[in-house]
Structure 1
Amino acid sequence: MTAFKSLVVENFVAFQQKLVWQHASLNVIIGENDTGKTHLLKLLYAMGRAIEDYSKKKAGPEPKDLTELLAQKLRWTFLPPKLELGRLVSRGTGNRLSVELGWNTDGHLKFGFGKDTVSKIVELQANGLPELEGHKATFLPPKEILSIFDAIVATRETVEIASFDDTYYDLVQDYRQPTTAGKLQDNIKKVFKHLEEVTGGGEVEMEKDGSIVFRRGKEVFNMHQTAEGIKKIGILSRLMRNRRLTPAGGSMLFVDEPEVNLHPKAIVLFAEMLHEFAQSGIQVYLTTHSYFLLKRLEQLARQKNTDYSLLDLRKQSGAGVVGTVTHLADGLPQNPIVEESLRLFDLDVQLDLAA
């Protein structure tokens, strides 16, 4: 079940020109540093999470307007200077930021604002919001949260300091939700099998007192004794068991640089997990610099003849960042990740010939 169908942005941070991006069940964003990969990921997440919160609150005793929820989510997801929304508008242009998210046939969320905007969005149009009711948006940031769990909670719930953005705080809230029993879809079962291979059969768990441990057989380790990669990838287990990541009702998973702190073998397994999520009906978005992850996803797309999209972002002199969309089922196009791999291979050949 593909929730989001398209995104159109203009004058948004590095994207001075209009970027039109059609979405698939799994979407990969690549590009060199400072090309706006994480900005696009966070933008989609902020909209998805705001719509989720709006759907939950509208039937409650204190419903909130979508414009208020979206403005707050954008501010706390991006943490611009002084939490001013206007800082998200492209510098050096006199135009307003414009964003349009589309889903299904005619569902859309469109909004815009100028450089002087502080905390309110006035210009907003929405249609077809009921079609997204029940959808859940989850974001996995590059840094694992389990060893800094208490710090995230304290800075946001006690003193409300902008030390951790909402991608971290929301993930803490999602992780806190209790697990539930029930039958798992076959693709989700395959994700668990990949998880077991990465963790050696162990699992990250939350104890009754709220502490988080890594348990493998009879051995129990606290988070400071647990490998970074296991902490990062192990969080998926609880998110599946508490039904945060489930095809039922619709889910979207956003992963920023999943390869961070992972061994190449674990990166390949993570790619296979993301593939299984997409095959189950969970819409997946990710950014990456990893050839291993990108190559494995391309192989899976070709093997299953699946429409996975690749958005290649590149800086254009004097015109910000532009993007090109291709399909992984058609093979990997030339891009900086592949080109650097080939350059190193050529150096190997030259060294062998000179020996």
Structure 2
Amino acid sequence: MSTLKSLTVENFVAFHQRLEWRDHASLNVIIGVNDTGKTHLLKLLYAMTRSIEDYSKKQSGPEPKELAELLSSKLRWTFLPQKMELGRLVTRGSGNRLKADLQWNSDGRLKFGFGRDTTVRITDIETNEMGQLAGHKATFLPPKEILSIFDAIVATRESQEIASFDDTYYDLVQDFRQPTVGGNWKEHIKRVFRHLEDVTGGGEVEMQSDGSIMFRRGKESFNMHQTAEGIKKIGILSRLMRNRRLTPAGGCMLFVDEPEVNLHPRAIVLFADMLHEFAQSGVQVYLTTHSFYMLKRLEQLARKHKADYSLLDLRKQETGGVVGSVTRLSDGLPMNPIVEESLRLYEADVALDLGD
């Protein structure tokens, strides 16, 4: 099965310097303080892989499109730059040119670049072995759930084409709309369902024939405004699994931006367990996090199962720009701002106790 291996970017928003993120794993965690470009990296990976997915689908359809056209549109609608111009994604500076290079397997590649004067179309693009990712699906789970704003997302994009919600939200709406199907599940996916049930108390988010969305638990039904934020986020995952959007069959990449948002610490730990099961089943997982609970649990799982989980730590430089370092969670949790803040709070507790 094809998997992503590396991403290199240069002059891309906060990444003034060349960032070489190599040796991608089955599960990849991105950390860093605010404004270090975590979500930008996640969205860039998503935009590139979703464009490849759309290209693969359209090649077999009645109206095939060029990858450059699909990628240009996906980048604009994923990042929503000022005036919807691609050049706004280029780091400010005379002559700067954004460069991105995504590689998979041993020789698969999507490489492109453009300058600050680029508006809506990428012309500098290079590909190799695109067929290796044919059939792969890319899914993005943003921090905010979509179920309570489902109709607004649909209306602003399908009726008015207003740039109110980026494509990570609109694509997720499209994925959620797909009908569920029956069938057998791999053991790791069965365990994901068990974790889901632990969080929801056995409830399930369902889409009705009239398009409305309800949360059902036992004999009780709740609309989305009566349903807890965390339950709605978990419900989205469940639906995507049941309609076979999230499945290792054929290849799948899952991008999750700050999964801990609106979740209780216990639910965060269970969510980490779910992501681990996805990775073990063959789904390649990418996530950003600010949560010590999420990070610590993934480190424990990597050590317990000797898994190849990767940690990308982004740091701002005094001279400007962002650099990143990669470690393996199976080797233990390295010192980083999340751990440092946890230790600072612990030391403050000790000082208070000694003061008493």
TM-score of the superposed pair, with normalisation by structure 2: 0.99
- The answer on whether the counterparts of 1:38 and 1:287 sit within 8 Å (CA) in structure 2 is yes
2:2·2:133 contact (CA, 8 Å) conserved in 1?
Answer: no
2:10 matched to 1:13? Answer: no
- Aligned-residue Cα RMSD (Å) equals 0.7
Tell whether the 8 Å contact from 1:11 to 1:93 is kept in structure 2 after alignment: no
Mapped to 1, the partners of 2:59 and 2:248 lie a distance apart of 23
How far does the alpha carbon of each residue in 1:123-164 deviate from its partner, in whole angstroms, 9 at most, with x for none?
000000000000000000000000000000000000000000
Offset, 1:91: 1.5
Which blocks of at least 5 consecutive residues in structure 1 are unaligned?
none
In structure 2, list runs of 5 or more residues that go unmatched.
Answer: none
Q: Secondary structure at the match of 2:8?
A: strand
Supply the AA of the counterpart residue of 1:258.
Answer: P
Contact 1:16 1:93 in 2 (8 A): no
| Secondary structure in structure 2 of the residue aligned to 1:349 | helix
Match of 1:50? 51
Partner residue of 1:235? 236
Q: How does 1:30-179 map to 2 (within 5 A)?
A: 30-92=31-93, 94-179=95-180
Cα distance, 1:318 vs structure 2: 2.1
Q: Structure 1 residues 2 and 342 mapped into 2: Cα distance closer, same or farther (>3 Å)?
A: farther
Instruction: Give the conservation status (yes or no) of the 8 Å contact 2:2–2:132.
Output: no
Shift of 1:260: 0.2
For residues 13-53 of structure 1, what are the alpha-carbon distances to aligned partners after superposition, in whole Å with 9 as ceiling and x for unaligned?
10011111121000000000000000000000000100000
CA offset at residue 317 of structure 1? Answer: 1.6
Shift of 1:278: 0.2
Residue 324 of structure 1 aligns with which residue?
325
Could you report, residue by residue, the CA deviation over 1:212-264 in whole angstroms, capped at 9, with x for unpaired residues?
00000000000000000000111111100110000000000000000000000
| Aligned twin of 2:190 | 189
When structure 1 is superposed on structure 2, of 13-22 and 87-96 the one drifting more is 87-96
How far did 1:3 drift? 1.6
1:93 CA drift (Å): 5.0
Q: Give the conservation status (yes or no) of the 8 Å contact 1:2–1:282.
A: no
Say whether the 8 Å CA contact 1:31–1:37 is kept in structure 2: yes
The 4+ residue runs of structure 1 with deviation greater than 4 A are none
The amino acid that maps onto 1:288 is T
Cα distance in 1 for residues equivalent to 2:136 and 2:199: 28
Taking every aligned residue pair, what percent have the same amino acid on both sides? 77
Match of 2:4 in 1: 4
Residues 301, 308 of structure 1: 8 Å contact kept? yes
Aligned partners of 1:2 and 1:24 also within 8 Å:
no
Q: 1:2: how far off? A: 5.5
| TM-score, normalisation: structure 1 | 0.99
Q: 1:186-212 deviations in whole A, cap 9, x for unaligned? A: 100000000000001101111111110
Conserved? CA contact 1:257–1:288, under 8 Å? yes
Q: How many residues align?
A: 355
Structure 1 segment 247-262 matched on structure 2, within 5 A: 247-262=248-263
